[in-house]
Chains A and B, each alone.
Chain A
Amino acid sequence: MTRTLLAPPLPSALDTGDAQFRQNREDMLEQLAQIEELLDEADAGGGPERMERLRSRGKLPIRERIANVLDPDSPFLEISPLAAYKSDYVMGGGMVVGIGVIAGTECVIMGNDPTVLAGALTPYAAKKWMRALEIARDNRLPYISFVESAGGDLRVQTGDGEGRRRAQLDHFAETGRFFYEMIELSKMEIPTVCVVFGSSTAGGAYQPGLSDYTIMVKEQSKMFLAGPPLVKMATGEESDDETLGGAEMHTTVSGGGDYFAEDEMDALRLCREVVSHLNWRKPGPEPRFDVEPPAHDPEDLLGIMSRDLTKPVDVRDVIARTTDGSRFEQFKPRWGATMVCGWASIHGYPVGILGNNGVIYPDAAQKAAHFIQLCNQIDVPLVFLQNITGFMVGKDFEADGIIKKGSQMINAVSNSTVPHLTVIIGSSYGAGTYGMSGRSFGNRFTFRWHTAKIAVMGPKQIAGVMSQVRRGQAARAGIEFDEEEDAETVAQVEAIQEKGSLALRATGAITDDGIVDPRDTRDVLGMCLSVVRNRPIDGAEGYGVFRL
């Protein structure tokens, strides 16, 4: 076996002295500075006062709990840190979800932030929680929950509060699913470990209740179906929460808790001990190749994408700054050229990469379908680098079967069973989003660069299409078309569409796993390629490769 792929490093004609490049870089750094500010906001949780109050009770903020449970100096990939962006909820949605390494084992960690609404479940937290369970299930990662939650956000149900606009996500109907999913994990022999840091009431009590392992903290963890006030209401019984559901009672009397921790750090120590005994083995193959840094500086990735996505970009310049040694063996380079396909390795893991160098033509769609089949044959995960305005339209292309051939590609993506990792670096429009393994197509992870835009079509296009519809309606009704009014409407629609398609909006709605600094792309993919190997990598079977 060779220690690297034999393909030579990609050449790169990227001109880093070019004015456009410098402008792009400046824009990107400005955007990343904004991200940093938003991450600081997420980090602050419910604010300094609540953090201080938490500490004064001998408790640790959620991010410190996570930092302390992780192996020192090991990586941590937070999922959707900017959830709830531009909503009425605190940045992050009152919950932290991420993938980290505990006792050498990759785990999904989800934790309530008790400084945000006392850890009550916001609609955003609910969606993040579901995503955490999904990551655990799809990749077979042990699931660790750090529970400290007042329960559901009752204000939503009662309409109580400051009367501000709430997120329109109806979450009550979904809530039971968490528990179902937790049981599913256990049934699939994916361990679930719950550390109860604070109150875990009513529905919340089922989190430890349904976990394989439950750790409780002395005089701090509380676990009951109903707290003292409700008990009094229901039966008139007088009780205090320690006797009703404290760690002492549960670890000595009810057996509801397995481990009794002296304090929070002790609970984290016990959590690490539990993970260390899980005997967790990764069935996926270890990295095959030497880990060479890219031959081209990943720093240059800052200057590749323009704010104006109409500027042409060669996706191979991104590939050359992401793969081991910049090596890339291009498949069918002379055919269907707008779909760049080929093999590389990232952090030693072999991957097939699909990237867009323009709109998808019928031949490009077929090439992608062919390539996806090949990677399934050899059990190689796929990386999709999306910068796609869509499938080509027009009479010639309809005649050439763009629907049929585009469907072949979408079919191949959907039936592919190797892990898909998707990074949206620029446009992600229409069916192009689907064909390039978008969020709804069963990919394992979706990340975005700040430059990404995602929508059914481009803002200009949608505004223009709607204008034409109005014009047609006016003509049919015999009404004079008000050009001035239309121009105003077009501008408005375009602006709204533009805003709605922005990466931050999409990430705020938890339609991805987060916005990443382009320079982190390689490491994000490397980590994900390791994570997906907690489950065997088996390509689709049943047919030979169709040469399309």
Chain B
Amino acid sequence: MSRYSTLLVANRGEIARRVFRTARAMGLRTVAVFVDADTDALFLADADEAVRIESYLDGAAIIDAARATGAGAVHPGYGFLAENADFARAVSEGDLVWVGPSPDAIAAMGDKIAAKALAVEADVPVLPSTDDPDHFETVGFPLLVKAAAGGGGKGMRIVQTADQLADAVESARREAGAGFGDDRVFAERYVARSRHVEIQVLGDQHGGLVHLGERECSIQRRHQKIIEESPSPFIDDATRSAMGEAALRLASLLSYQSAGTVEFLVDDRSGDFFFLEINTRLQVEHPVTEAVTGIDLVREQLRIAQGEALGYEQSDVAFAGHSVQARLYAEDPANDFLPATGTIEAFEPHADPSVRWDTGVGPGSVIGTGFDPMIAKVITHRPTRTEAAGALALALERLHIGGVVTNRDFLTAVLRSDAFLAGDTTTDFIDRVEPARRHDADDHERRRLAVAAALWMQAANRHDAVTLPTLPSGWRIGRLPAERIELAHDDQPVTVHYRPRRDGGFALGLRGDEGRARVHRWSPADIDVEVDGRRCTYRVARAHDRLHVTGAGGTFTWQLVPRFSVPHIEMPGGAVTAPMPGKVVEVRVKAGDEVEAGQVVVVLEAMKMENHLRAAQPGTVTEVRVGVGDQIEKDVLLLVIDDGRETSDR
């Protein structure tokens, strides 16, 4: 009997909350697991109980946690152990219900080479490929070298010509080995301009099997999806049916139970589709399918795991409207989408119940290097694709977020681009269309944002005043210079001068001749302010010396330049600091060593990439502050090199 009343979710963040939400609605008790780094994470509050574990990859501890709390089932979410057949087996063998496909199906699909063979067996078109390393060239160029056990773009190389092949295979193998503990790679024909389209399938334990249409996920950076939608703007009804049937044939061959996704590569020129792989789990982009079908995929997973029949057939599945999802990441699009870290100091989606926000973070959450830096998934569902994309862009623009660099502006630029709106979405979209990586406020917008920030501070000062709090702001008998606030953005300083007027407004500028402003309403969270006749409510959050101001064009972060600078101890001239967050994998010098300018002193790994940090000047290493394995934040001082100059005057 597979009935259960308590569900443990072996995951964290956004997906844990997503699963808890449906489980709770279905009347299930919920249990979370968490590691130390997640002690303050929001998903813990969504569960009835939480169990501390060492790692989300520690299957035994998770099974123990389920037993200890009386959980009858384990939902793996996605990532971590979601596609680990051994764990699925251990769960099932531990008399717990595994919410997912059978361990055998996971195992079969986990090996991409084996999966491809099955696809061929199911008469599903596949790309020419070979796993014979001596004959990779037989698939034809351009080709793709991929890790057999991989995913997420790791261990993947595009090879244009034969002479690049050997190097590509070598490096892909190394990366695969490091990433997955399995260095097998295979070669596959590369389709130059393609789309990524996938079919959602659902199977129950009684042979019931349906597909829920496709999702197109072609907009990718670093081989990871960032915008997904359903339906695809490219797929016509005939192709949809053909792909759906192909997916069902393959699922049927696997006796697939639970939710799964059959991924295809679609040739943008011919419209031909080729099998890529099956993901034997819930997908990050599942909400768009939920939106257009009205089917809660987590609910279906939980029902199927309980042994319930789907209760509907393919012909019952109806599609309505269009749904688009964007993944908001803590990353810097302007810096090759490198992950960003930091504390989220402001987070407030604009209140609009028609926009779905799946998120695991809130104000105060820390985005570290330990986990995926996804902040939220934002999903809209509208009658047309254009409306769904527009509404999504608007929701992103209106998001009040500060503290970490995000890809918000970039997502918005994609969603508002002509190419996207025309449905011209191929996997090379970003390189081809080159949407703006960041939104730069023009001088006028910058001025309004500066005035809004200054007047917000002004009102906050009055609000916080304990002495004479009821006197008007900046009230004067006699003459004093205008009030002054110095702000900076990207190290560009802006000074706002303002002087209260008797009518309750403010005259701007040192001499009061640079326009007018009026605060219509102020609260600690926002300000309704009119600047030169243009009025807008800006949401504002202050964190230390930063002010995050969200207007119509997204969030703008001002650095508050203090009125007084406190004399401080200078940073040593020969300091080597971390240019990005990451893990120290090598320290090549020790205190006392002589170094040359340009010599590599520390190797830092960030997002599986090695970064060589070099000495800027020759000298003697006087201090080493980090060791191998240290996880460090950006700008942390790693070591100090003394250049031997006289420093006694410091």
Interface residues of chain A, those whose CB is within 8 Å of chain B, are: 39-40, 42-43, 63-64, 66-68, 70-78, 81, 96, 98, 101, 104-106, 262, 265-266, 268-269, 272, 287, 291, 347-348, 514, 516, 519-520, 523-524, 526-527, 530
Contact = CB atoms under 8 A, between A and B. Distances in A.
Contact of A73 (B473, B478, B481, B566): B473
Contacts of B27: none
B458 interface: yes
A96 B468 CA distance: 21
A526 B471 contact: yes
A42 B479 contact: yes
Given A269-B564, A347-B470, A71 B465 contact: yes
Interface string B479-491: 1110111000000
A96 B457 CA distance: 28
Contacts of A268: 564
A44 B58 CA distance: 75
Residue from A63, A98, A268, A523 having most chain B Cβ neighbours under 10 A: A523
B481 A67 contact: yes
Contact of A77 (B477, B564, B565): B477
A368 B563 CA distance: 50
B502 A104 contact: no
A81 B478 CA distance: 6
Given A71-B461, A72-B563, A63 B480 contact: yes
B466 A73 contact: no
B477 A76 contact: yes
Nearest to A347: B470
A76 B502 contact: no
B468 A75 contact: yes
A101 B484 CA distance: 16
A103 to B, nearest CB: 9
Contacts of A42: 478-479
Interface in B466-524: 466-468, 470-481, 483-485, 502
18 contacts: A39-B478, A64-B481, A66-B480, A72-B483, A73-B458, A73-B465, A73-B474, A75-B468, A75-B474, A76-B475, A76-B480, A262-B567, A519-B502, A523-B471, A523-B475, A526-B470, A526-B471, A530-B468
Nearest to A103: B467
A41 B367 CA distance: 56
Nearest to A293: B470
Nearest to B485: A72
B466 A104 contact: yes
B462 interface: yes
Contact of B479 (A63, A70, A265, A523): A63
Contacts of B458: 72-73
A530 B563 CA distance: 27
A269 B563 CA distance: 9
A347 B467 CA distance: 12
A75 B567 contact: no
A434 B470 CA distance: 32
A439 to B, nearest CB: 18
Contacts of B566: 269
B472 A523 contact: yes
A68 to B, nearest CB: 7
Contacts of A516: 477
Contacts of B470: 287, 291, 347-348, 526
Contact of B467 (A81, A105, A265, A269): A105
A73 B481 CA distance: 12
Highest count of chain B CB atoms <10 Å: which of A63, A73, A77, A527: A73
A73 B473 CA distance: 5
B465 A104 contact: yes
Contact of B468 (A43, A81, A101, A269): A101
Contacts of B472: 75, 523
A359 B137 CA distance: 114
Nearest to B478: A78
Interface in B535-570: 563-567
A291 B471 CA distance: 10
Contacts of B457: 72
B477 A74 contact: no
B467 A101 contact: yes
A520 B477 contact: yes
Contacts of A106: 467-468
